[in-house]
Structures are given as C-alpha cells and as structure tokens.
Amino acid sequence: MIRFDDQVALVTGAGAGLGRSHALGLAGRGARVVINDMGDATDVAAEIEAAGGQAMAVSADVSDAEAVASMVAQIMDRWGRIDILINNAGILRDKTFAKMDMDDFAKVIDVHLLGTALCCHAVWPIMRTQGYGRIVLTASGSGLYGNFGQANYGAAKAGMVGLMNVLHLEGARDDIRVNTLAPTAATAMTEGLLPQAALALLQPETITPGVLYLVSKDGPSRTILSAGGGTFAVTRITETQGALIEGDITPEAVAGRWSDVIDPSGAEPLENAFAQTRKYAVRAAKAKGITLDW
C-alpha cells in the first residue's frame, strides 16, 4: 500500500485540473499538502481538510524567486519539512512561431522551465538535509514530439528532461529521486483543443495514480512517464550505435553511411554526457590502434 503519512507535499498549479487531482490524491493517502496557485487555492485546501486531511494554500508566482522562497519558508515554519515537490504550474501562449511575440515566448519559458527550476532549487537543500526527496517535473508530448503552434511551450517542456537528467545525477547520493510526467489530460489548458468525447476520457484522475507512484518511497528516478486515459508508458531517449567514419571525414562520407548512422538496432540509453564522450573517443582510438586509459 503506497502511503504518504507524515510527509509534506508541495504541488504547484494545484488550484484546478491536474494539480488539484495530484493534491487530492496525496492527501487521500496521508500527506500534508501545500496547494500553490496564482489564483485562489483555498477551495482545494478546504476540500482536503473537510475530508479529514491537512492542507495549506499559498498563492505565489513560481517564476518569482522571492515569492517561491517565501512560500517554502511558510511551509517550513508550519511543518518543518518538504518531502515531495510536484511541479505542475503552467500557462499557454499558443501561436505559430512566425507570429509569436517573443515576450510570450519568454513568459512561457519563465513559468514552466524557470518556475520549475526555482521551486526545485528552493527545496533542494531541505531534501539534501533530510536525506530524502521526491520531485516530479511536468513535460508534455509537445516537448517530446512537437506540436504546431507551441514553440514556446514545447521548448519549455523539452527543457524538463534535461533538468531531470542532471538533478537525478546530483540528487542520487541524498536519495532525491527526480522524474518527469508527460500527461495528456482534459484541463483548462486543453479545453477547445480536443474533441469533447476525448476530453471525457482524459480526466486528470486517470493520470494522478502514476504520479503518486513516482513520488512514493520505492518510486523510480530519471523516468519519463507518459500518461493519459489510464494508459501509462515510458518514453526513453536512446542513441544508435552509429557509424565510425575512417579516413576523410566529409559530408559525403556521412551521407554514404547514413543508413548505418540511423540504424536503430542496438540503440541504448546513455548514463550521462561523459558516457557519450567516452563512446566516441574509445571507438576512434580503437580504429587507430590506440589504447585509452579508461
């Protein structure tokens, strides 16, 4: 049985939609939950308390470093710890890239990517001191695969994967596990973008159980969990074995070996950026009869 008794969870953008669902799910399994939203989140906090749980609502702009620091200080003053952070807050400013105002591009990056980084940075020393932490970043299929008219949103969401990869490595020593959720849900942000019949199937409550597993004691780390309508899948970034070009390394040589470059057989994930560097250097050295001390 997955429970969160005696744990404190902060959920951003939790006034409605996915965030609200995550907050209710955590509270239902014993967590004390902080409901963050730019709007009024007291209704969600009251709903949790009416059901016998513990909650507090904090209005704060996650892209404002001072507001985030103040929010975290309030949590620590009341409960003295933060075990779980679910970064869910977000906005949309959709337009084709040609017509997009770059202020709208920057605003979406600020809320999604910078806001997530600021919240992670604020709780990081707390989790390190505790020797325990669970963090979820929220990405999107728009960032993983692209979506017309969402260059700003897609760029911000793709950035979640890079942030997760690094925080996973840096947090491992202190049992801070970091994962990414890529949800497809019927929320205010997707209303009007999907057929009504699809929206009825893609309720936030069909996604939250996967999130609760990610932030559980025995949850994974460095996992991209895609979810919607009760389906859960893992998205992986892998690298092909590739082709070593010996002799003259020219564009024509690359073109001539292109089928080998893209051959998916033997593709594998890499542990970190240095693993990629080592892969290339060792292969080049072997071709030249050089032994590297690695």
Mean pLDDT of 4-9: 98
Task: For residue range 38-48, list pLDDT tens digits in order.
Answer: 988 999 999 99
Give the DSSP per-residue string, 63-109: T-HHHHHHHHHHHHHHHS---EEE--------B-GGG--HHHHHHHH
Amino acid at 103: D
DSSP 110: I
pLDDT in the model for residue 293: 81
- Asked if the model's pLDDT at residue 191 lies above 70, the reply is no
Annotated catalytic residue within 132, 153, 213, 280: 153
Respond yes or no: is residue 153 known to be catalytic.
yes
- Asked if the model's pLDDT at residue 7 lies above 80, the reply is yes
Q: b vs e for 243-255, b when ≥16 Cβ sit within 10 Å of the residue's Cβ?
A: bebeeeeeeeeee
For residue 83, what are the contacts with CB-CB under 8 A and spacing of at least 6? 4, 7, 8, 9, 31, 127, 130, 132, 133, 134
Cβ atoms of residues 54 and 33 within 8 Å: yes
Q: Hey, what are 164's tokens?
A: 């997760």
pTM across the whole model? 0.94
- Asked if the model's pLDDT at residue 123 lies above 80, the reply is yes
Mean pLDDT of 165-193: 88
Q: How far apart are CA 248 and CA 140, in angstroms?
A: 41
